Amino acid sequence: MIEAIVLAAGKGERLGMIKPLIMIDGEPALARVIRTLKKAQIKRIAVVLGYAAKTILRDVNLTGCKVVINQNYKKGMASSLALGIESLSAKAQGFLILHADMPYIKEETIRAVLTKAKDGAQIAAPTYHGQRGFPVYLSYSCIVDLLPTLVGETGARQYIAQHQHKLALVKVNDPGSIRDIDRVEDLKMVEEKRGPTILEG
């Protein structure tokens, strides 16, 4: 079984708002990400909360999700990903990593990454116009070597860079796979029906 880890613990200081609760077409960004995962037939979803966890739990229906609270979210995204990995079930063959502030990812993109995983890829990710995006898939077999590389805000980036030979890329027609909502300017772009900023790295 392939599970999903949704990272939603950060403070979002550059935006000045609770990012998982940003309304996208009348729906909180986090709720939209979870809905898309469920449409792609992901049965088990771990949501890692930290900053404003109580408010998010009040405003987003996380029924059916595994909720993990990162009390040390200020240490960076890596600490949240590590907790998400620890919460994986014994049946997990691998997992997807997504961010709560990437609500535009398409169901088709998730399915394309899942297909690569089911075909035997140990690491898989979508690319849009040559840029690697999300969700990123990692096999359970990667965890032992992955965990020591999780420091600060790097997430799985360092591990993937060191294991390019294991990485399978799939081209997608989905700008949402490389875009997040990170700054006030991004919200203005959404209102103008243009894409939010492209993720760095």
pLDDT tens digits, one per residue of 103-125: 999 999 999 999 999 999 999 99
Tally of CB atoms within 10 A around 173: 11
Distances (CA, A) of 67 to 70, 111, 120, 159, 196: 10, 23, 29, 25, 27
Domains of the chain from N-terminus onward = 2-191 (3.90.550.10)
- Cβ atoms 97, 140 nearer than 8 A: no
Q: Residue 14's pLDDT is what?
A: 64
Q: DSSP 3-state helix, strand, coil percentages of the chain (rounded to 5)?
A: 40, 25, 40
What percent of the chain is modeled with pLDDT above 90? 80
Cβ–Cβ < 8 Å for 32, 23: no
Q: How much is the pTM?
A: 0.90
pLDDT band at 12 (very low <50, low <70, confident <90, very high): confident
Per-residue pLDDT tens over the stretch 143-187: 999 999 999 888 899 999 999 999 999 999 999 999 988 655 555
Extract the tokens encoding 73: 């979210």
